[in-house]
Amino acid sequence: MMTKIAFLSDIHIAPAYTYEVFRRKMTKYALPFICSFLDRIASQGDFSFVVQLGDLIQDADRDTDRIHYQKGAALLSRCVVPVHHLVGNHDTANLSPDEIASILNREGLYYSFDHGAHHFIFLHTCVPDPAISPRIIIPEEQMAWLEKDLDQTDKPTTVFCHHSLADQELTGNPWFARTPEECLVENRKEVRQLLKHSGRVIAVVNGHLHWNHTDWHDGIPFLTVQSAIEVVDDKRTPADAWGVITINRNRFSLNQYGKDPFAFSYAFDDGTTVAAF
């Protein structure tokens, strides 16, 4: 049985007065992008679900952020298939995890489920106190949950998170080349040990870094995907980035479309890479 997933990341809905502030983020394109994405999903009609990888909004202040988060979540809820949300650092800059969980009608911000022959885990990579420090962690309680969840499944498992769990080389990244603490999970090695020990994880997918990147740890691909509204040229063209993951009996494939395309595919029964961007 094939599972087909659409994804989008780092949409950054923002107030109109900030449109010219974020020179690398075409935030005014955020809401039109969601509308065009929904049309694409509806026209294809064979997706299992959608993953929103976090940073649905660009933070401004608490009231504005709540309005924008509610607007973005409500718009995505019109999708013809279920939408599963991750939460990013901009989402929680002024809104509490409990507030966001309430908007999304979820009990918590990390969770898992099975779809057919496959298992899917959604982690909440936390920024505990953005006013004090940008440090990013998976807290102990969530680590214990993750270990138990992995122990209880025998299905090929894909992990989604907002920040990166890989030891990425950041040279050339337009946002984080000099600040790895703002994009890489602090206790990522410990998390990767759990993923490795399970023997079930076939891929990890994240957003946040506003570029496409592939890393490998212990035979597991860690894939970072581009932001929907990142500027890709000197004409301030937005990336219009969205993509499709397909998982068959023993093959994982990711294809991203838009102005910054990216493709990856490998057979996870033996870990052999057959195509990469």
Q: Which of 153, 172, 218 is nearest to 191 (CA)?
A: 218
Parallel, antiparallel, or unpaired for β 201-206 and 157-161?
parallel
- Average pLDDT of 173-186? 96
Q: What is the mean pLDDT of the chain?
A: 94
Give 6-26 pLDDT, tens digit per residue. Answer: 999 999 999 988 887 787 899
State how far the Cα of 275 lies from the Cα of 264, in Å rounded to an integer.
Answer: 6
Single-letter amino acid, residue 17 = Y
**Beta partners for 126?**
137
pLDDT, tens only, 237-277: 999 999 999 999 899 999 999 999 999 999 997 443 444 43
pLDDT tops 80 at residue 130: no
Please report the pLDDT score of residue 1 as a whole number: 75
Assessment of whether the complete model's pTM goes beyond 0.85: yes
**CA 268/CA 201 separation, integer angstroms:** 9
C-alpha–C-alpha distance, residues 5 and 243, integer Å: 8
Go through 235-256 and write b for each residue having 16 or more CB atoms within 10 A of its CB, e for each that does not. eeebbbbbbbbebbeeebbbeb
CA torsion, points 242, 105, 75, 183, in degrees to nearest 10?
-40
In single-letter form, the type of residue at position 131 comes to A
> Rounded to whole angstroms, what are the CA distances from 80 to 33, 45, 70, 77, 86?
16, 8, 19, 8, 19
Provide the pLDDT for residue 134.
75
SS3 call for 274: strand
CA distance 254 to 70: 29
Q: What is the pLDDT of residue 135?
A: 87
pLDDT, residue 275, reads 43
pLDDT score for 187: 97
pLDDT bin (cut points 50, 70, 90) of residue 81 is very high
Mean pLDDT value across residues 27-35: 97
How far apart (Å, rounded) are the C-alpha atoms in residues 158 and 240?
24
